[in-house]
Amino acid sequence: MLNDLSVNIRNLEYRFSKANSFYLQIKDLDYSFNGVLGMYGLSGSGKTTFSKLLAGIIEPVSGLVSFLSNGNSAIPKIMYSPQFPEKILLGVHIGETVQQILSQNVNSAGVYNSICDYLQKFSLDFDTIRDKSGFELSGGELRRLAIALSLALSPELLILDEPTIGLGRRGKAQLYRILEEFRQKHHIMIVSHDFNLIRKISCHYWILDRGNLIFTGDLNALEHRRDIIEKVGINSLEHYLTAAVKTEEMRTH
């Protein structure tokens, strides 16, 4: 069953340091998750920073991020799958890493089965990679492993940062199928500078530009914001709209 989940943001501010010119500022945002949320922006717009603030990985300079789960104030279980998981997994022993994850979960047997299941859906066999180190896996394999681990922990909200980097056509198709099933019981946010990816998976959009949230809405609402389309470099939006209609028709037939 998919829980009702909403986020409320008030005067959220973040900067790396006084020497860094980047400054993220989200004034007021009330959002109820309903379907896959896509966060789009050009490189350097603040997507990863905003994602980590939502996940509680970094703390804001000021402001508030609060969640409501089924109408109650709560800190939901949020998993953030990073943009470059290979940096984390590259030097680790795969079996030992999985065992460490299992030791931190009460339902270790269920998590183990889920890890194996998601790896199979990504055409990876845990028994084959169990005794390997991250150095022995390709970038695509490391990314699929990282996503599988995040999925297996069954978060209430899964944030995937640039999930298709390093995935070929087959890996992307597998990811789409997996997320289509996962979204039935979990909330998902896809973070990417690739609008085509965002469009394929998401039904609602957040668009960031230079640390500011400049749009929140669906694709049809975005169609009427030519200023934003041009500002963030979304070309040939008519192509995306046509493709979106075809995708929706395929889902309903």
56 shares a domain with 163: yes
Give the predicted TM-score (pTM) of the model: 0.89
pLDDT score, position 91:
80
- Does residue 208 carry a pLDDT above 70? yes
User: Among 69-78, 203-212, 239-248, where is mean pLDDT lowest?
Assistant: 239-248
Q: Provide the residue range defining the domain that includes 128.
A: 84-154
Do 162 and 243 fall within a single domain?
yes
Q: What is the percentage of the chain residues whose pLDDT exceeds 70?
A: 92
Residue 181 belongs to some domain of the structure? no
Regarding whether 68 and 97 lie in a shared domain, the answer is no
* Whether residues 115 and 20 fall in one domain: no
Final residue before a domain boundary, out of 102, 131, 154: 154
Same domain for 238 and 226, yes or no, is yes
Whether 59 and 95 share a structural domain: no
The yes-or-no verdict on residue 17 having pLDDT over 70 is yes
Q: Give the CATH number, domain containing residue 16.
A: 3.40.50.300
- Please indicate, yes or no, whether residues 88 and 65 belong to a single structural domain of this protein: no
The span from the CA of 53 to the CA of 192, in Å, is: 16
- How many domains is the chain partitioned into structurally? 2
Domain co-membership, 109 together with 131 = yes
**Is residue 150 domain-resident?**
yes
* pLDDT digits 0-9 by tens, 241-253: 555 544 454 444 4
The letter for the amino acid at 131 is: D
